[in-house]
Structure 1
Amino acid sequence: MKKAWVKKLLIGLGIFFGLILIANFAINIWLKTQLPDYIKKNTDYQVSYKSLGVDLGTGNIFATGITVNNKNPQNVNIMGFQGTIDTLKVSRFGIYDAIFNKTISSSDLLLVKPNLNIVLAKPKDKKTDKKTNPISFENIRISNGTIQVFKYTKQKLLSVNDLDLIVENLQLNEETVENKLPVTFDQYSIKGKDIFFQPDDIYNLKIAKITTANGQVSIDQFQLAPIIEFEDFKKSYPKKKQLISASIQKIDFTDVVLKDNKVSLSNATFQNPNILIYTTNAIPDAVKKPVNFELNLDDFRLNNAVIQVNKANGNKMLFAKDVNLNIKNIEFSKEISAEMIPLRYKDFNFSGKDIQFSNHQDMKFGSVVLSPKKGDIRNISVIPNHSGSGKTTMNLKASQIAFNINKWEIVDKKLNLDVKDVLVNQVDGTITAGTIKSNKKSDFNGIQFPILVRNVTLKNSNLTYDSKNQPLQFKDLNATIKDIELTEKPKSGGLAVKVKDYNLTAKNFAYKTKFYNMTVGALAFDKNKIKLEKFDMKPLVSRAQFIRMIPVESDLYDLKANQVTAVGNWDLFSENKFLHATNMTISSANANIFRSKIPADDPKEKLLYSRLLRTIKIPMFIDLLQLKNSVLEYEEDTPKSSGPGKLTFTNFNMNVKNLNSAKMKGRPTQVDIKIDCTFMKTSLLSVNWGFNTADQSDRFSIAGKLNNIPAVALNAFVVPYMSVTATGTIQEMLFDFKGNPKGIGGTFKIKHKDLKVSILDKESKEKKGVLSAVVNIFVKSDSGKFPESVVVEDVERDPTKSFFNLFWKGIEDGLKKTLIGINVDKAKKTVEKTKESVKEVKSTVKEVKSSVKEAEKDISKAVSTPKKETEKPKEKKGLLKKIFYKKEKTETQ
């Protein structure tokens, strides 16, 4: 029984395989004789071949001498084929799917010497057409092929000669499949010549030769060239931002892997690339969907490149030659693309020469070398090109900018930066501040704060910072700044700066303003000491020019100081600025202050010094401010004065204790000022002045003593204003005033000797002899040993005038009451009375003269009359005696 069953089974299998062999033989006969006619009748193609073999069991197809053509070449709705294939071999062909599902699938496809022109069908409506993959081959081999692919418009899309291609495990994915590349494969090998590809109406791509050996791909003479002029490109594609032209002598890479949505590539080298990019002013449409693929490059090299980027107007934006770039382990993904730097890498090295960059400035760099750890930039030039009106610009040259970096990394999608040191060497030029302020809030979302810069060094530089045509100039500038910390201001969105230590030195420091040129022979500045030598502030205009240039009255200064020093502790960079100097000294200063009363009065309120100090925004405290061995001159003229009045203070020494802004906690706010000097080069002056900056009522006190003043010393100042001169000596002047923003008052006393006063005409300044003589009748030439004090009161302050104007008004009121003013008033009243008496006398004399004339007539008549008639005239002689006696008396009076 068992043998019978086995026998039957073997017979059945034999019959089955026999039938298959018969069917296979029959199909092969049919394919050889009838398939061309079948294809011609039932398809859009005409196919012929020399031989054809089909194995139904394995699905293998082998054909030779194939020729294929379209029956209707004008039909654009189907794919067109025209050409020959020397040998076609298909392994494991899906015959059932080809017959019933109209899809072609195979594990292997071999084409030997294909010479094909392929015309793609006209694209169908994506909304209505279902996405399918009608052709699928796992492995493709092409040997010695010549292939040209055209669009349905007969425009060439792709062509390649001498093509040898091997692709293993090829997979084509539908566009609707997310997170997948449209083409993936495992292994590949490719050789070809004269490759042409035109993906659109903008570019074509040409490759002279492509080869693969041991997994390495080499591409010779790569060219990406626009086929449209730039002006036409801007008109035809108003939303596109760039037009690119590139030629690369050779490209090499290995280990290309395309899998799912990942692209991996190793050892990519671009030799002698020449890249030109044209940019437009277009604003592209927002990207609806971010690029969703991953890129991994183990090693990327750009050797000896020339790169140029043009602006929309054709001018260069960027140019660089001899560019070399090597980046290791590049990573790109959807997540990384959202970071501040949209690439991750392990290491990079960049170098280039003759680099130019232009925005609103033309910048040139002789050479640039960069890596994640350091950088070196040489021969830098920055020149404004007048295309950025209102922006901050630089016109300078620098020998070198170099830096070393401790840390440069991305942490939680933010840049973490720690700079070890920065060197800036031999900078020479000008930085001009812009006039346009941006209202746009800075975006620092991609930065992890704080940013640290451990050390910055500026060497041997000559820099000018010009703001509003007021240049600040440093020559022989050397500076060191240590431990800079940058943080974001939470409210304003700007950057806050903290500096641990710094040091700055310069020679021939200068600052020019509208009216002054300030210079310093040498400057040294750090966080604990300031030293200025040979300070000079000279007016740039004459006094007459200054008067014509100012709309309202103002002071014109001419200042010098041999040395200015300060020691202490201060922070002028961070958000919490402060200044605390334990000692500040100004040595051998010479100050001339000129004010003209010819311009209109300044209607603005002039703050007293206590309030003025409170306006300083930062905590400021100077334990002791000393002004040593100095000269102070104050000159003032009026429209009616003949030349300016002048006050001179020589041997000027001043000590100021606790100079402050009332903002430093734990520090006293009472300011005490002690002044000792020589007044008008002849007299010793001592002043004690005090106020409290925390006192909102701004009260002050000022008291002093002036000794041995020759009265003529005051003439230079009192003549232009009081039209009075004096001689003699004021042995002592004492004043003790208290005041506030409303006025000043107190006591005033002078001791004088041999004092005489002359009154001058206000217009001609000629001496009024009679009035001066009368005044001196009332002036007590000697005051005695113990003169009495007078009370100065009700002296109101003009809020538009300075503190010193108020102080002078107090002195002036005291002088009037003690020396000049009252006596002049008395003299004027006496002269007025005298003038009235003289008028009466003159009237009496006139009457007398009239009586004399009448008497003379009577006498004349008496002489011509006979003696008998002369008795009465004898009586008249007694009357004449009386008349002449009265006349003589009157004249004497």
Structure 2
Amino acid sequence: MKKPWVKKLLIGLGVLFGIILLANFGVNIWLKTQLPNYIKKNTDYKISYKSLNVDLGTGNIFATGITVNNKDPQNVNVIGFQGTIDSLNISRFGIYDAIFNKEINSSDISLAKPNLNIILAKPADKKKAKNPTPFNFDNIRISNGKIQIFRHTKQRFFSVSDLDLVVENLQMTEESVQDKLPVIFDRYSIEGKDFFFQPDDIYTLKINKITTTNGQVSIDQFQLTPLLDFDQFKKLYPKKPQLYQLNVQKIDFKDVVLKDKKVSLSNATFQNPNILVYTTNAIPDKVKKPFNFELDLADFNFNNANIQVNKPDGNKLLFAKNIHLNIKNLEFNKEISEEMIPLRYKDFNFSGKDIQFFNHQDVHVGSIVLSPKKGDIRNVSVVPNRSVSGKSTMNLKANQIAFYINKWEIVEKKLSLDVQNVLVNQVNGTITAGMAKSDRKSDFSGIQFPIVIRNVNLKNSNIIYDSKQQPLKFNDLNASIKNIELTEKPKNGGLAFKVKDYKLTTKNFAYKTKFYNMTASLLELDKNKVKIDQFAMKPLVSRSQFIRMIPVESDLYDLKANQITAVGKWDLFSENKFIHANAVTILSANANIFRSKIPADDPKEKALYSRLLRSIKIPMFVDQLNLKNSVLEYEEDTPKSSGPGKLTFTNFNMNVKNLNSAKMKGKPTQVDIKIDCTFMKTSPLSVNWGFNTADQSDRFSIAGKLSNIPAVALNAFVVPYMSITATGTIQEMEFNFKGNPKGIGGNFSIKHKDLKVSILDKDSKKKKGVLSAVANIFIKSDSGKFPESVMIEGVERDPTKSFFNLFWKGIEDGLKKTLIGINVDKTEKTIEKTKNTVKDVKNSVKEVKNSVKEAEKDISKTVAPTEKNKPEKQKEKKGLFKKVFQKKENPKTE
């Protein structure tokens, strides 16, 4: 027998069940008969349906033949619905929350054949707008749907047909939650046709078809198309920097996961994409809120893409065909976006053909293959275009550029790079240096220094570097550089280079300047040796052209040397540059130096050699510099000279010890120069010359001896300048001078034999006989056993003249005092005095003649006419006077 409470419980449950059945039956009757009217009276919509079943116990709702419309289609303040749904199935609908909490909750909602036009309400002021009723659906299913969504302006926003959609575990984020995706879900399936989406007034997005199979989504004929042409875009949106146009034949991806702020998917493939980007000169507004979502692509592929980027003027900036890109484990997030390369990846492969870039020069790449470890670029050409204005340009073709990378990674948000090898093969063309200088400081904040490049090889190349129309030409150029380290300069920015080893060889090297063409048959250079064969420096203009082209006087050089070599060590790349050569040798040089005094004097101060060496900014030291078996010619003309004067030094041998810039610690600064040569092809000359580069007063000493000089050997130089020729022999000439930037002085002596001079007319260069005869009266033809020695003092330097001008002044002063200059001056003065004396004598003779005539008249008067017996005596007297006068008037007395 049952207990009373059990009976009561069963009765209670039965009553409750009955009430529920009755309530469920009553609600269904009410929903079928009264719900449409209720909705019509209390909402903005009219809804009808063929059938409707509601299970209050489970919350399941099933309806068929649903039709929905707005009561007032013109009301833009509410969402507009118009269309039909074959059936609606809602599982576990939260009736209590819908009635009391105004929340729509359901585990599942299914729509069969929905054909809906949805018109979005006019956007309301967020401050005044009421919070909309939230909709929460765990799972959504739509089958064979056709949906169109319009803005309140009746402009189409979204549409799709034949839509089959399954979304499981759908979750929507509240508006107040920041940095989260608005929608997330676990599993999805979507199929449909004719997708249309217009997110704004700039673009429309169209998709021909979307299918899903086992999580793999395929999108056919993806199109992103601008609604405006480019001119309209620039006018209406002046702050937007780009306008895009995109067509993709097919997009495939799978395993899409949306969680919190992370989007991840795998096997994303874009087949035959065509991308067109229009760029403007606009400066976009700064983004106030940074992008804070994460993107994780397990495998990303671009297959056979064509990319074109246009400049603001409509011309091409970039064009590339047959682009293939595969990236493994691509990552992007807020932290990565702040790095120099705003993407991370495990691996990538990139390839393309016919890549063209058009800036101030046009770049064309035949093919390119890149990966994190290596790259290979073929058939590269770089050509300047018409937009060049003061920028550096290249007109080059390269057969291959290849590299291999040891390490390429991000360390503390900075790029760390270690390159193993770089190969540049068969480069031909010209690099032209620009004139414009950029004031913008380089920003290397995203680079982890040092950058290391272990090997660089340049092979079989012909390159011309042209700066200020002065081309530097390398033929058959081969170079290798080892262990390059790039670091940032701490003070003024830029990059500093440090190189461990290098080697360069080139044939038929040439460098052309305004006046010269410098060539060499072979140039070899490394960190310990330099070798130059068949060096030549030839003028490009004649002497007369050179004189007309220069504003002030300058030297014109004609140089050549069989070989120039240097051994030692030097660093020309790092911050701590230096040159230390143990030996520099120049073999068989031939140098002709021409200077004309016709152009105006150069008013600039000419520094002495100690100061010039001291002005070299880097430590420089040459233990031994040797010039061997060479020829030196110096020619100089003046407006009054008849052709250039010429000094010739043959068999020229020079040794320079300790050539330095006074900046190498521990090294001596005294420079000693010894010269042995043959002067004017006849006479041995030896010179010892010295100075100290550390001596700020720039003192120097120079001493030498010249022997057995035929005086005629000097004629080539003294005739144009002093209008003098000489014969005889200068047996010995010695000088021992000391000087500084103010002047020169010291001892000068000369020993000569049979010395005679001829004074020439300065215009006709004909010998002046009388003047030459008088000059030789004052010249001592033989100096005797001992040379004539004089002290040279008070020879001042013209600071606008060179060291050799000062040295010649000392020699000239010695010659004047001992031999030529002062005696010629005396001779000219003596001849002038003689002329005056002859003139006085002639005047005296005239006076005597007049006196004699007067005397003869007086004598005639005093002799009586009767004295006819004395005619013979008178005749004798007259004859005597006549003889006297004839002697006085004889021209030989002149």
Provide TM-score, normalisation by structure 1.
Answer: 0.98
Aligned to 1:512: 512
Shift, 1:92, TM fit: 1.3
Shift, 1:762, TM fit: 2.7
Q: Distance in 2 between matches of 1:522 and 1:127?
A: 82
TM-superposition CA deviations, 1:424-457 (whole Å, max 9, x none): 0111111111111111111111000000000000
Q: Distance in 2 between matches of 1:826 and 1:314?
A: 87
Q: Distance in 2 between matches of 1:30 and 1:794?
A: 134
Q: Within 5 Å, which residues of 2 pair with 1:479-558?
A: 479-558=479-558
CA contact 2:382–2:394 (8 Å) conserved in 1? yes
Provide TM-score, normalisation by structure 2.
Answer: 0.97
Q: Distance in 1 between matches of 2:556 and 2:388?
A: 37
CA contact 1:852–1:883 (8 Å) conserved in 2? no
TM-superposition CA deviations, 1:23-62 (whole Å, max 9, x none): 0001101111111122122211111111100011111100
Shift, 1:592, TM fit: 0.8
Report the AA paired with residue 110 of structure 2: L
Q: Within 5 Å, which residues of 2 pair with 1:788-827?
A: 788-827=788-827
Q: Distance in 2 between matches of 1:99 and 1:599?
A: 108
CA contact 1:845–1:887 (8 Å) conserved in 2? no
Shift, 1:861, TM fit: 7.9
Aligned to 1:667: 667
CA contact 2:302–2:325 (8 Å) conserved in 1? yes
Alignment of 1:30 onto 2:30: yes
Q: Within 5 Å, which residues of 2 pair with 1:41-190?
A: 41-132=41-132, 134-190=134-190
CA contact 2:246–2:275 (8 Å) conserved in 1? yes
Partner-residue secondary structure (3-state), 1:306 = strand
Q: Within 5 Å, which residues of 2 pair with 1:242-641?
A: 242-641=242-641
Shift, 1:479, TM fit: 0.3
CA contact 2:102–2:133 (8 Å) conserved in 1? no
Deviates most, 153-162 or 879-888? 879-888
* Paired residues, number: 892
Aligned to 2:766: 766
Shift, 1:160, TM fit: 0.9
CA contact 1:855–1:880 (8 Å) conserved in 2? no
Shift, 1:327, TM fit: 0.4
Alignment of 1:3 onto 2:3: yes
Shift, 1:128, TM fit: 2.8
Change (3 A) 1:870 1:336: farther
Report the AA paired with residue 634 of structure 1: Y
Alignment of 1:885 onto 2:884: yes
Shift, 1:107, TM fit: 1.3
Aligned to 2:694: 694
Report the AA paired with residue 867 of structure 2: K
Q: Distance in 2 between matches of 1:45 and 1:889?
A: 157
Report the AA paired with residue 605 of structure 1: E
CA contact 2:845–2:888 (8 Å) conserved in 1? no
Deviates most, 831-840 or 239-248? 831-840
CA contact 2:676–2:687 (8 Å) conserved in 1? yes
Q: Distance in 1 between matches of 2:826 and 2:808?
A: 24
Partner-residue secondary structure (3-state), 2:447 = coil
Q: Distance in 2 between matches of 1:860 and 1:351?
A: 137
Change (3 A) 1:582 1:736: same
Shift, 1:729, TM fit: 1.1
Shift, 1:840, TM fit: 2.6
CA contact 1:862–1:873 (8 Å) conserved in 2? no
CA contact 1:841–1:890 (8 Å) conserved in 2? no
Shift, 1:89, TM fit: 0.4
Report the AA paired with residue 218 of structure 1: S
Q: Distance in 1 between matches of 2:647 and 2:242?
A: 73
Shift, 1:885, TM fit: 3.2
Q: Distance in 2 between matches of 1:133 and 1:817?
A: 120
CA contact 2:708–2:729 (8 Å) conserved in 1? yes
Q: Distance in 2 between matches of 1:430 and 1:456?
A: 20
Q: Distance in 1 between matches of 2:110 and 2:597?
A: 106
Deviates most, 847-856 or 75-84? 847-856
TM-superposition CA deviations, 1:468-496 (whole Å, max 9, x none): 11111111100000000000011111111
Q: Distance in 1 between matches of 2:144 and 2:801?
A: 101
Q: Distance in 2 between matches of 1:609 and 1:71?
A: 104
Q: Distance in 2 between matches of 1:827 and 1:134?
A: 127
CA contact 1:65–1:86 (8 Å) conserved in 2? yes
Shift, 1:19, TM fit: 0.5
TM-superposition CA deviations, 1:539-558 (whole Å, max 9, x none): 11111111111111111111
Shift, 1:765, TM fit: 2.6
Report the AA paired with residue 885 of structure 1: V
Shift, 1:804, TM fit: 0.2
Q: Distance in 1 between matches of 2:63 and 2:832?
A: 146
Aligned to 1:650: 650
Q: Distance in 1 between matches of 2:859 and 2:357?
A: 122
Aligned to 1:705: 705
Shift, 1:363, TM fit: 0.3
Partner-residue secondary structure (3-state), 1:343 = coil
Report the AA paired with residue 820 of structure 1: I
Report the AA paired with residue 492 of structure 2: S
Report the AA paired with residue 888 of structure 1: K
TM-superposition CA deviations, 1:291-329 (whole Å, max 9, x none): 110111111000011111111111111111110000011
Q: Distance in 2 between matches of 1:638 and 1:857?
A: 64
CA contact 1:409–1:417 (8 Å) conserved in 2? yes
Aligned to 2:197: 197
Change (3 A) 1:440 1:131: farther
Partner-residue secondary structure (3-state), 1:448 = strand
Q: Distance in 1 between matches of 2:53 and 2:748?
A: 135
Where structure 2 has 5 or more consecutive residues not aligned to the other structure, the ranges are none
Shift, 1:708, TM fit: 1.3
Deviates most, 80-89 or 842-851? 842-851
Q: Distance in 2 between matches of 1:828 and 1:276?
A: 94
CA contact 1:329–1:346 (8 Å) conserved in 2? yes
CA contact 2:849–2:885 (8 Å) conserved in 1? no
Shift, 1:857, TM fit: 5.8
Q: In percent, how many aligned pairs have the same letter? A: 78
TM-superposition CA deviations, 1:90-145 (whole Å, max 9, x none): 01112223233433221110001111111111111123335545322111001111
CA contact 1:464–1:471 (8 Å) conserved in 2? yes
TM-superposition CA deviations, 1:743-790 (whole Å, max 9, x none): 111111111111101112333333221111011011111111212311
Q: Distance in 1 between matches of 2:698 and 2:429?
A: 47
Partner-residue secondary structure (3-state), 2:788 = coil
How big is the alpha-carbon RMSD for the aligned residues of Structure 1 and Structure 2?
1.7
Aligned to 2:743: 743
Where structure 1 has 5 or more consecutive residues not aligned to the other structure, the ranges are none
Shift, 1:9, TM fit: 1.2
Q: Distance in 1 between matches of 2:251 and 2:386?
A: 41
